[in-house]
C-alpha cells in the first residue's frame, strides 16, 4: 500500500466525519428531547460531583455547550454528543491505523458510523454514553499505543494519560471501570512486563483520585446511587425473556450487519485471535456481564455498546484483509441500513398517522415510544394559552406544576415550566422521582392558600396522587389537551388545578 493510498484513507475518514457531523447537527435541532435527554438537562441546572443515577460528566457537558443554560435549545443541548461522535470516530480511525494500517482505520470509522449505538444513541442523543464513548475510545487508543510501543518514555506518557482518560470515562458512566478490568486482564495474561512499570500503578491511582469527590458525594447522600444501581443488578429469579430482549437489542443497537461481520471476523481469525487479545479483553467482559445480568434482571442493550464499538476494530481488520469490492459492499450496506433506520424513526416520531400504542382512553398512546420525542413543544404553547385564560383577572397566578415521576416531569420542566418561569415539583418515593428529590430542595416554598397545577399524560395515565390531594383543599376535574400527529389524536395531556394549598 503506497503513501498516496494511505493519505486517501485519511482524507476519506475526515470527509466521513464532516458529512456525518453535518447530518447529526441538522437532526439535533429537529427532533425533540426524549425522556432521558431532557432528564439529564436537569443535571446541568445545579452541577454536583455525582447524581442519583449517574456520574456528573453529562451534566457538565450540557452546561458547557449551552453556555450555562443560556442557550436552551435541543441543538446546543445535544452539541456535546455531536462533537464527541466526531472525536470518537477519529480516535477509532487512529486506533485501527496503529493496530494495522490506514485502511483498517478507515473501515473502523465507517463501521463506527454505521453503528446505531455509537452514531445515534451516543453520537446524537445526549446521554451519559456520549462523553463516555469519547474517553472509552481514547482509552482504547492509548492502550494500543502502550502495548505496541517501543519507547519507554512514550509508553509512560500514554500510561499517565490512560489513567486520566479512564477517570473521565468512569465519571461519565460507571461502565468505564471495564476499561481497567479489560486492560488488567490483558496485562496479567499477555503483557506481564508492564507490571514492572511503576507508572502503571500511578496511572491506576490517578483514576482512583479522580473518583474521590464523586465517592464522597455518594457517601454524603446515603449511598443513594449505589442502592439504585444495586437494585438493577440483583440476582433475583431466572427470566429468559429479558435475556432474549438483551440479545435482540444488542443485535439491533450495534447494527445487525456489524454484528454479523464481527462473528464472521472472529471465525476467520480463530487461529489468530491472540493478535486481538487486547480488544477481546476490552469487549467480551462487559458483553458477558450484561448478558449474565439479563438472565435475572431487565437490562438495557446500550449498556454493552462500548464493548461492541471496541470490537469494531476486529471487524475492520478482517475487512482490510478482504477483497476491496467485498469490503465496500459490506460497509455500504451497513451504513445504508442505519441511515434507513434513522429516516424511518424520524418519520414515525413526527409524521406517523395516529399512535402506535393503545387507541382509546384512558390509556391513549400507552406503549408508543415515539411519543417520548414528540408533542412537547406544541403542548408548551397550548398550556401557556390555557394557563393565561384560566388565570385571567387573577393577581396570584399558580407558580407550580406538580408531577409524580421523573418522566414526564423533566419534559414539563424544559418545554412548559422553563419558558413560563414556573416551577416543577415532583412528589413520590426516591426511586420514582430520582434527581428531582435534590431539585425539589432548591424550589421556593408554596404559600398557604396558593393554587397549583398537576399535569398527567394519557400514555402513562397517572391521576393526582392521593397524598398530594390531601395537601390541597380541592382538585378540579382534568382539562384534556390533545396532541395530534398527521391530523389524528395520539394522546391527551391532563391538566388538573389544585386549589388552596394547606400548610
Query: Is the predicted pLDDT of residue 264 greater than 90, yes or no?
Result: yes
CA distance 484 to 350: 10
Q: Which residues contact 441 (CB under 8 A, 6 or more apart)?
A: none
Instruction: Say what the pLDDT of residue 455 is.
Output: 98
Residue at grid coordinates 414528540: 374
**The three grid cell numbers given for residue 39, joined into one nine-digit string:** 432528564
70 burial via Cβ count (<10 Å: 0-12, 13-18, 19+): exposed
Task: Quickly list H helices, 324-415.
Answer: 324-351, 376-390, 406-411
Pairing of strands 452-457, 400-403: parallel
Q: How many whole angstroms separate alpha carbon 6 and alpha carbon 9? A: 5
130: burial class by Cβ within 10 Å (0-12, 13-18, 19+)?
buried
Cβ atoms of residues 160 and 203 within 8 Å: yes
pLDDT value at 495 more than 50: yes
3-state secondary structure of 426: strand
Nearest Cα to Cα of residue 143 among 276, 233, 273: 276
Each residue of 393-431: pLDDT tens digit?
888 899 999 999 999 999 999 999 999 999 999 999 999
pLDDT-based confidence at 232, cuts 50/70/90? low
Neighbours of 332 (CB within 10 A): 12
Q: Residue 395: what are its φ and ψ, rounded to 5°?
A: -80, -45
Give the pLDDT band of residue 231 (cuts 50, 70, 90).
low
Within 8 A by CB and 6+ apart from 145, the residues are 98, 154, 155, 158
Closest CA to 419 of 376, 458, 367, 360: 376
Are 41 and 407 in contact, with CB atoms under 8 Å apart?
no
- State how far the Cα of 410 lies from the Cα of 405, in Å rounded to an integer: 9
CA distance 460 to 392: 30
pLDDT tier for residue 5 given thresholds of 50, 70 and 90: low
Higher pLDDT, 330 or 228: 330
1: pLDDT strictly greater than 60: no
**In the Cβ-directed half-sphere of 321, how many Cα atoms lie within 13 Å?**
11
- The answer to whether the beta carbons of residues 308 and 119 sit under 8 Å apart is no
| Residue ranges covered by each domain of the chain | 3-348, 369-501
Cα 19–Cα 41–Cα 457 angle in degrees, nearest 5: 105
Amino acid at each position: 500500500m503506497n503513501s498516496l493510498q494511505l493519505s486517501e484513507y485519511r482524507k476519506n475518514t475526515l470527509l466521513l466525519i464532516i458529512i456525518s457531523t453535518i447530518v447529526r447537527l441538522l437532526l439535533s435541532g429537529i427532533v425533540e428531547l426524549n425522556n432521558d435527554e431532557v432528564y439529564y438537562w436537569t443535571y446541568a441546572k445545579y452541577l454536583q460531583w455525582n447524581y442519583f443515577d449517574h456520574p456528573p460528566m453529562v451534566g457538565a457537558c450540557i452546561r458547557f455547550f449551552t453556555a450555562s443554560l443560556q442557550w436552551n435549545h435541543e441543538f446546543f443541548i445535544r452539541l456535546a454528543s455531536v462533537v464527541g461522535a466526531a472525536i470518537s470516530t477519529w480516535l477509532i480511525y487512529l486506533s485501527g491505523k496503529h493496530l494495522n494500517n490506514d485502511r483498517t482505520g478507515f473501515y473502523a470509522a465507517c463501521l463506527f458510523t454505521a453503528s446505531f449505538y455509537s452514531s445515534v444513541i451516543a453520537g446524537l442523543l445526549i446521554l451519559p454514553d456520549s462523553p463516555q464513548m469519547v474517553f472509552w475510545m481514547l482509552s482504547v487508543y492509548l492502550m494500543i499505543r502502550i502495548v505496541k510501543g517501543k519507547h519507554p518514555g512514550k509508553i509512560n506518557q500514554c500510561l499517565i494519560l490512560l489513567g486520566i482518560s479512564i477517570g473521565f470515562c468512569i465519571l461519565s458512566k460507571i461502565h468505564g471501570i471495564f476499561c481497567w478490568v479489560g486492560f488488567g486482564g490483558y496485562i496479567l495474561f499477555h503483557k506481564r512486563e508492564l507490571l514492572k512499570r511503576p507508572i502503571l500503578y500511578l496511572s491506576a491511582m490517578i483514576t482512583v483520585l479522580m473518583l474521590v469527590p464523586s465517592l464522597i458525594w455518594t457517601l454524603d447522600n446515603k449511598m443513594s446511587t449505589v442502592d439504585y444501581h444495586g437494585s438493577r443488578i440483583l440476582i433475583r429469579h431466572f427470566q429468559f425473556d429479558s435475556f432474549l430482549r438483551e440479545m435482540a437489542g444488542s443485535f439491533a443497537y450495534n447494527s445487525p450487519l456489524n454484528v454479523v461481520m464481527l462473528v464472521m471476523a472472529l471465525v476467520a481469525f480463530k487461529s489468530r485471535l491472540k493478535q486481538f487479545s487486547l480488544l477481546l479483553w476490552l469487549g467480551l467482559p462487559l458483553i458477558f456481564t450484561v448478558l449474565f445480568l439479563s438472565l435475572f434482571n431487565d437490562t438495557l442493550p446500550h449498556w454493552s455498546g462500548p464493548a461492541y464499538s471496541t470490537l469494531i476494530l476486529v471487524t475492520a481488520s478482517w475487512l482490510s484483509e478482504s477483497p476491496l469490492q467485498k469490503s465496500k459492499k459490506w460497509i455500504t450496506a451497513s451504513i445504508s441500513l442505519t441511515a434507513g433506520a434513522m429516516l424511518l424513526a424520524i418519520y414515525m416520531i413526527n409524521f406517523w398517522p395516529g399512535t402506535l400504542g393503545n387507541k382509546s382512553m384512558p390509556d391513549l398512546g400507552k406503549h408508543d415510544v415515539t411519543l417520548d420525542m414528540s408533542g412537547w413543544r406544541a403542548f408548551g404553547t397550548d398550556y401557556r394559552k390555557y394557563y393565561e385564560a384560566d388565570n385571567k383577572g387573577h393577581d396570584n397566578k399558580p407558580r407550580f406544576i406538580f408531577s409524580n415521576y421523573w418522566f414526564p416531569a423533566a419534559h414539563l420542566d424544559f418545554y412548559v415550566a422553563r419558558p413560563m418561569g414556573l416551577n416543577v415539583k415532583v412528589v413520590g418515593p426516591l426511586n420514582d422521582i430520582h434527581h428531582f428529590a435534590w431539585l425539589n430542595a432548591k424550589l421556593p416554598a408554596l404559600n398557604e392558600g396558593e393554587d397549583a397545577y398537576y399535569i398527567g399524560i394519557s400514555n402513562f395515565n397517572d391521576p393526582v396522587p392521593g397524598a398530594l390531594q390531601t395537601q390541597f383543599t380541592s382538585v378540579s376535574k382534568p382539562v384534556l389537551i390533545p396532541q395530534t400527529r398527521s391530523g389524528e389524536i395520539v394522546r391527551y395531556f391532563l391538566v388538573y388545578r389544585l386549589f388552596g394549598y394547606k400548610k
